[in-house]
Amino acid sequence: MATANKNLSSYDKSQIPNAKQLRFGIVVSEWNEEITEGLYSGAEAALLDCGTLSENIIRWNVPGSFELTFGCKKMLTTQKVDAVIAIGSVIKGETEHFHFVCSATAQGVKDLNIKYDIPVIFCVLTDDTLQQAQARSGGVHGNKGTEAAIAAIKMATLGD
| Cα 6 from Cα 14, distance rounded (Å) | 19
Q: What is the Cα–Cα distance from 160 to 155, expressed in whole angstroms?
A: 10
Instruction: Give me the catalytic one of 6, 80, 97, 99.
Output: 97
In this structure, are residues 62 and 29 in contact, taking their beta carbons and an 8 Å threshold? yes
Is 99 marked active-site?
no
Beta carbons within 8 Å of 60's beta carbon, 6+ residues apart:
25, 26, 27, 28, 71, 74, 75
Sign, CA dihedral 112-113-114-116, equals positive
Residue 128 contacts residue 23 (beta carbons within 8 Å):
no
Which active-site residues does the annotation give? 97
